[in-house]
Amino acid sequence: MTGYYDDDSMIRRVHRERVVALSGSRALLMQAAHPVAFTGFFASTSSLGDPYARLERTARVIDTVVFGSKQAADRATRRVRATHRRVRGVLDRDAGRFPAGTPWAADDPELLLWIVATLADSGMLVFERYVRGMTRDERERYWQDFRLLGSLFGLGESDMPATHRELRSYMHAMLTGDVLHVTEQARELAIAIVLRPPVPIAMRPLVELANFVTIGLLPRRLRREYGLAWDPIRGIVHRGGAEYARRLVLPFLPGRLRYAPRRLAQPA
């Protein structure tokens, strides 16, 4: 059975890299910085109590769409759209520019676009930082692949930036405008994800390394709003580590370690 993408598509070439999984926590923290999206996609569901479950669910659906058959992708995204149609409400408190009582719906195109855009932006950033640079054409193809993915989640063509250049303009406007605002609840989510994940003590060194990467990848404004410590020395170490991995580690890893196994769709 054929899928929506083939092996030459940029979305497959990017997301087959295990290291791109590092983009998940960054994308989630960026999503939670939108106070209405945070309420609609986190606080109104069990995601606030178990943010890693949300990461896992999102990763599973994305993998199905990117690497599975069209039939499996349609089933997975149909379930997501049906869930989104049922999830709606109003803000119970002021959050940045949004007053208490502001209505929200999980299938609001503006909220869905922020979710999709942060996934694309984060995936591209990690790939370029840890794997290799992308040409202008590759970035464009990657975003066009994500536009297709966005359409499967219910976004219309006019709901999304038409080009990668327009995506960059959209991200810049969001990060410099007044829509984003890290609430206290979102800050608690950051602590749960970045500082105190529930892992065995033996895993703490790896977690701290992943935390360091996540914090360094966040836009400066959001890092500050989340209250995550950073300084120029950390920035130099972060960049040096990424360069070391890109030049001296990934190119020499065997495929079974470098590439994630495909989660192909199961028969109906």
Domain limits, the chain: 10-258
Gap between the Cα atoms of 197 and 129, Å rounded: 25
Phi, psi of 33 (to 5 degrees): -75, -10
DSSP, collapsed to helix, strand or coil, labels residue 103 as: strand
User: What's the mean pLDDT when you consider all of the chain?
Assistant: 90
Q: Which residues pair with 76 in a beta bridge?
A: none
Percentage of the chain modeled with pLDDT above 70 = 90
Position 91 scores a pLDDT of 92
71, with CB counted inside 10 A (0-12, 13-18, 19+), is middle
Q: Is the pLDDT of residue 195 over 90?
A: no
Gap between the Cα atoms of 152 and 207, Å rounded: 33
Confidence band of 59 (pLDDT split at 50, 70, 90): confident
Position 114 scores a pLDDT of 97
Position 262 scores a pLDDT of 65
Position 148 scores a pLDDT of 98
Gap between the Cα atoms of 139 and 217, Å rounded: 18
Position 5 scores a pLDDT of 96
Instruction: Kindly give the residue spans of alpha helices, DSSP state H, lying in 131-249.
Output: 136-152, 164-176, 184-190, 204-217, 220-226, 232-244
Q: How far is CA 11 from the centre of its chain?
A: 13
Amino acid (1-letter code) at residue 146:
F
Q: Is the pTM of this model over 0.85?
A: yes
Segment 20-37 mean pLDDT: 92
Gap between the Cα atoms of 109 and 154, Å rounded: 8
